[in-house]
Amino acid sequence: MREIEIIKRPKSHHFQKVTIDGFADLGITPAIKGVGCMDGRLKLTNPDIKRPIYSGEARWGGGSPGAVGALLALDKKLPVKHAIKIVNEQTKKEGKEFTAHKHCGHVRTALNGEHDISPEKVNNMISYLKDGKIKIKKDKYVGDHGEKAIINVFSRTNTVTPLDPDDQFFRQDITRRNDHLTEVAKKAQSLGSPVTPEKLVKKIDEQVMNTFRALVKEKTPIYNIHLDRPVPVVESGGFVAPRR
């Protein structure tokens, strides 16, 4: 991490910049209410900005279905629709919408049996979500996958976005994700589930790593960016390990 400087963007969008040595300069952007997948393809989030950037919602593997999948892997007795209900209710309590997207690599990896959930249960989840029984915000991504890194963001108030749309990455807003999963786990616990916040966070981390092993090149770098400190700090989080 080198210096932080204010750079000017069109339409008076001011971004603080954080430099990741060996990867790219990223913009620091405010966290906004909302949930999304870590998918690194681009969404047009602001029609005033001609080139796409990532918006500031809390992203993690699979978005809302990712949280459901972690619950299902930990509590094999929990019916799929109860797991969806727990995640949906907590999401709404946070003032957000249950958010999913088509062609999700994380869900596809689960379907391939790599998330410690039976593919049958994953299919049940997909059918339930398609049935329109709960209101779902459907995200749309444009372009092709070209993620060159995995970025884990630690902050409740900020996150990062590519300054150059070619510098795509998977983004996980870990602090905000863990806040959400903690409440999801507590709700499941109150209904008699053996799930704990610590186990749920550990489980989704395992599942996401299996997704990376399936989707990205070996040795793709992982960076941990701490935006919750007086000065942003970038640490290496290692690399995506080869598949066993």
* Nearest-angstrom CA–CA distance, 122 and 72: 9
* Nearest-angstrom CA–CA distance, 117 and 69: 7
For residue 127, how far is the Cα from the chain centroid? 22
Nearer to Zn ion, 18 or 222 (CB): 222
Among 18, 42, 100, 104, binds Zn ion (CB under 5 A): 104
Among 28, 34, 36, 39, binds Zn ion (CB under 5 A): 39
- The answer to whether the CB of 239 falls within 8 A of the CB of 35 is no
240 binds Zn ion (CB under 5 A): no
139 binds Zn ion (CB under 5 A): no
Owner of token pair 């019916």: 79
From the CB of 212, what's the least distance to Zn ion, in Å?
Answer: 12
From the CB of 37, what's the least distance to Zn ion, in Å?
Answer: 3
* Nearest-angstrom CA–CA distance, 115 and 203: 9
The closest alpha carbon to 176, from 83, 95, 116, 104, belongs to 95
Which parts of 192-231 interact with Zn ion (CB under 5 A)? Answer: none
110 binds Zn ion (CB under 5 A): no
Residue span binding Zn ion (CB under 5 A) among the ranges 29-37, 91-99, 108-116, 117-125: 29-37
* Residues at the interface with Zn ion (CB under 5 A): 37, 39, 104, 106
